Each structure stands twice: as C-alpha cells, then as structure tokens.
Structure 1
Amino acid sequence: MHIPSTLSSARKFLSSHLTKASSTVETCVVIDATIGNGHDTLFLAEQVQPNGKVYGFDIQNDAITATRSRLQAANLLPIVELYRLSHDRFDEVLPKVHLGHIQAVMFNLGYLPHGDPSIITQPSTTIAALSKMTHWLASGGIITLALYTGHPGGQEEAASVIKWATSLPAKSFQVMWQQILNRNHAPSLVVIEKK
C-alpha cells in the first residue's frame, strides 16, 4: 500500500466527486481559491472539461501569469476565468446564478512556490472565504484545504481552519482531517462535504 500525499488525496476526492457530479449537472462549476502556479487550476479544468467552468483567484500577478500560460498550453483557458483578487472576495465577481451550485472548491494554503515567502494566505481572509463558500456550495459539493505549517504564520492559519471546520454543524456538513503523524511540519488535508 502507498499512502498518498496531501495533494494526491485532495485530487482523488475531487476527481471522484466531479466524475459523479458531471453526470448529474449540465455545467460543473468549480473554484481554485489559491491558484499559485496553476497546477490545481489545470487539474480542475481537466476534470470539468468540456462543458464545465473554473474560477481561479490569487493576489499575485506572477500566479495569474503562470496559470494563464499553463492553461493556454493545455488549450483549457476558454473554460477558466482568472481573477487577481483575494479569495474572500470571490462573491464580488461570481455570477449569482452559481449560488448553491458550486461543485468543488480547492485551497492550497501558504505561499506561492518559488515566489515571495513573505506573501502568505491569512487566517482572516481564508476563514471569511470559507464561510461564504459554504453557502455557494452545492448539496454534495466538497471543499479541500491543503494546510502547510512549515512557514511563519502557517501553524496559526492551520489552527484557525481546523477550529472553524470543527464548528460546522454535523447535520449539514461532514468534515475529515487527514494528516501524517510522524513527520514534522507535514502538510495536512481538510475535506468538507456539504450534505
């Protein structure tokens, strides 16, 4: 048996859910809340093509540029909209028609790989984004959060996310926390499913 990495686990949950959702909804709408270098955005676009829609958010120009290039190379840019905007402001640009119909949201918290490590996701904006996204999520939809604690501020953000997720009502959400126990600062994964 091979224990999957945090990112591999997140993608397995998302792929399984989106395969089922694609057979029941006309347009699968998903969000990459932290696009980074675009690997997750590309993964989500591959999952929902050709009729789905991906909305991606990041506050850094470098992230938008790298992601756009990656999507263009894969001919998937037409189904993706990228915004240089903090993830807690996603509701300012998403069409209201998607309220209650988002199938999946992916967060990869921390900082832009190979970017400025001082620019990190913040507990305040992450929790604000999550609180809003639970309302936009479809019944059966999922949110995945990769939590990184090896950088300054990472442990505090992870603790805030765990505390918030733990407080979600069990009658409306199922929450799982997956972690590697014998490695210092190993990333962990939170998966939230809306019932």
Structure 2
Amino acid sequence: MNIPSILPFTHTLIEQVAGPGDLVVDATMGNGHDTLFLARLVGSTGKVLAYDVQQEALENTRKRLKEAHCLSQVQLLHKGHETVEEELNCHDQPLSAAMFNLGYLPGSDKTVVTKPETTLTALHTLARYLKPGGLITLVIYSGHAEGKLERDILLAELGQWDQKQYHVLKYQFINQQNNPPFLVAIEKR
C-alpha cells in the first residue's frame, strides 16, 4: 500500500460523495484541474459552479474544459467564492461536494491570494447547502505569509464546528520540508 499524496487523496474522497447528475462547486478554479475532475465526475447531467477572481484562471480553465469536451456542465464565474449563495439559490438540488485549493494561482501573480474572510464566508454558505454525507475539501498551502495567516484562522474556526453536525479531518504529512500543502475535509453528518 502507498499512502496517497494530498491531491489524489482529495479526489478519492470527493469521488465517494459526488457522481453523475450532482451539483458541485470548485471554489478556486485556478488552472482548471479540479474543475475538469468535477466536470467528469458529475457528467453531462450534473453541474459544476467554478469560481475565480482572475481572468487568467477562467481562460485557462475554459481552454482545458473545451479540449476535454466538458464545458457544457460547468458554469465559469469570474467572481469570488464568497458569492456562491447567489448561484446555489438558483438550483433546486442540494450540494454534494465543494473543493478549495487555497493560496495563489500557480505561475501567476503571487500577490493575489485567497483571504480567510472570504473563504470563511464561502465555507459557512456551502455548509448550509451541503447534503448530509456531502463533503467540502480545502487544500491549504501555507508556504507564504498570507497562507500561514489563512491556515491559522481556518483551523481555529473549523476546530470549533459542532461535531454532531460535521466531521472535520486534517490530513497532513508531518515529516516533509518547506510547508507542504495539507487537506482539511469537512463532512456534513
């Protein structure tokens, strides 16, 4: 057996709770890797709401989805994930899963980063719409000053969530150097 690294383990967890026809969210689309993963998972009958504040992220993601013939089931949104309720209100089905990759867009402007305030707003909204057994994943990159701050604020907040309503898991390698990313998974009970 091999212990899975962070991103494959995240995908394994999401695959257990989301499938064809489901509603899911990519809260930080970045270069579109998770958006494409979710689009394939929910298929042509499902819906992916994908958010990013950078136009470059939307362009990269649109190209990736178009090449994979998965654009039709994705709504690309050029705005912050804290606005997710606007779109969730338009759907009559519960949310199966949501994914975050916190930090900054790889290969882009490292001064544009996710913020704990907007991430917490999005998390609280997503948790209300999440179906029982549904899952929210956060891959947290804390190798920069803003990432450390966001990590600390999120862990303090999520550590207080009611265990009767949510299971909150932290999956982390503790012997790796240079602040490797780690996963926080939130399951609605």
**Fold agreement, TM-score > 0.5:** yes
Listed one character per residue, the Cα deviations across residues 8-40 of structure 1 (whole Å, up to 9, x for unaligned) are 110010012224xx4xxxx30000000000000
* 1:42 and 2:36 correspond: yes
Distance 1:54 1:95 in 2: 14
Query: Equivalent residue of 1:118, what SS?
Result: coil
Q: Which runs of 5+ in 1 are unaligned?
A: none
Shift of 1:98: 4.2
Moved more, 69-78 or 161-170: 161-170
Point out the structure with the larger helix share. Answer: 1
* 1:67 and 2:61 correspond: yes
* 1:110 and 2:103 correspond: yes
Listed one character per residue, the Cα deviations across residues 42-71 of structure 1 (whole Å, up to 9, x for unaligned) are 000011102111000000000000000100
Distance 1:98 1:118 in 2: 37
1:129 maps to: 122
2:12 maps to: 12
| Structure 1 ranges of 4+ moved more than 4 A | none
Give the structure-2-normalised TM-score.
0.95
Distance 2:92 2:170 in 1: 27
**Is the 1:98–1:136 contact (alpha carbons within 8 Å) kept by the matching residues of 2?**
no
Give the letter for the 2:95 counterpart.
Answer: I
Shift of 1:92: 2.0
Size of the aligned set, in residue pairs, is 188
Moved more, 89-98 or 53-62: 89-98
Query: Equivalent residue of 1:78, what SS?
Result: coil
Query: Equivalent residue of 2:37, what SS?
Result: helix
1:156 maps to: 149
Give the letter for the 2:71 counterpart.
Answer: L
